[in-house]
Amino acid sequence: MEPHPDLTAQYAPDIAKPQFLKDLFDRGAPHYARAERIVSLGSGFLYRKNALQRASLAPGMRVLDVATGTGLVARAALQLGIAARDLVGLDPSAGMLREAGAPVAFGAVRGVADALPFADASFDFLCMGFALRHVGDLRATFAEYRRVLRPGATLLVLEISRPSSPLGYRVAKTYLQQVVPFVTRLGTRDDDAERMMRYYWHTIDACVAPQAILDAMTGAGLRVAPRKTYFGMFSEYRGAKR
Ligand SMILES: C[S@@+](CC[C@H](N)C(=O)[O-])C[C@H]1O[C@@H](n2cnc3c(N)ncnc32)[C@H](O)[C@@H]1O
């Protein structure tokens, strides 16, 4: 079950999506920090940290940050007292991991969400920030998350969802499809950074409905909490391994 249909206007049908994504994020990596600050108006790190606190992340836990990118979620976990030796960031993009400073600040592994290179029941907490839209298969991803979590462990997925109100949708579309790529271009003067931020909106717009994500979590055997939303578009999906 794909998180969105193929976006053939964004990548040629003959280019495999994983290769397109690796290239997109490798090339955009040097500019991700600035682009993220533009999208979130500077609030992104605090939002991630608060979300981890809301999900009861606590020192002593062994944590996996899937799609760690430049390590924003992982660094928030470090600030909340998670030891670097207990924290692993996983991402398919070597460029992103380089920008993260991994493996200096925390352990780093290259890989994808739906084929995790970890033993069963390895982690107490698994988080994923703003990347569920990029996985190959939602069901396989949640099955993998369940497999690597210990019984009772927590899953936290942060994602942006298409606003359901017509006004919210228009505002989000204008901001993310037009303003953010334009300002990113001005701030970075870089084609790859602008391309990365254009792709951002397309995946949000095409993504399956939140209920399909909750159903995929439940179908994988996770105990699922009701979705929390902030500002009509920041979704927090929380689950636990029974
Ligand atoms: C928008 S960034 C999010 C980075 C970080 N989690 C954050 O909160 O800022 C998306 C990340 O997802 C990664 N990614 C793309 N496809 C993936 C996959 N199939 N599995 C895991 N990560 C993937 C990209 O390489 C990129 O670093």
Unique residue bearing structure tokens 């290259």: 110
pLDDT tens per residue, range 155-199: 999 999 999 999 999 999 999 999 999 999 998 899 999 999 999
pLDDT tens per residue, range 129-146: 999 999 999 999 999 999
- Rounded to the nearest whole angstrom, what is the distance from the C-alpha of residue 38 to the centroid of ligand 1? 18
6 pLDDT tier (thresholds 50, 70, 90): confident
28 lines ligand 1 (CB under 6 A): no
pLDDT tens per residue, range 65-121: 999 999 999 999 999 999 999 999 999 999 999 999 877 789 999 999 999 999 999
Rounded Cα–Cα distance for residues 13 and 27 (Å)? 20
Rounded Cα–Cα distance for residues 65 and 44 (Å)? 16
Q: CATH number for the 17-22+40-162+208-241 domain, one of 3.90.1150.10, 3.40.640.10, 3.40.50.150, 1.10.10.410? A: 3.40.50.150
Whether 4 and 204 have beta carbons less than 8 Å apart is answered as no
Counting ligand 1 atoms within 8 A of each CB, the residue from 49, 96, 204 with the most, and so the one to mutate, is 96
Q: Of 52, 46, 79, 50, which Cα lies nearest the Cα of 65? A: 52
Which amino acid type is present at position 140? A
Nearest residue (CA) to ligand 1, atom 22: 67
Residue 148 has which token pair? 């690597």
All structural domains of the chain with their residue ranges: 17-22+40-162+208-241
Spatial CB neighbours of 157, under 8 Å, sequence gap ≥ 6: 127, 128, 132, 213, 236, 237, 238
Rounded Cα–Cα distance for residues 231 and 160 (Å)? 10
pTM: 0.95
Rounded Cα–Cα distance for residues 68 and 201 (Å)? 20
Nearest residue (CA) to ligand 1, atom 26: 69
Nearest residue (CA) to ligand 1, atom 19: 135
Nearest residue (CA) to ligand 1, atom 20: 112
Report pLDDT for 102. 74
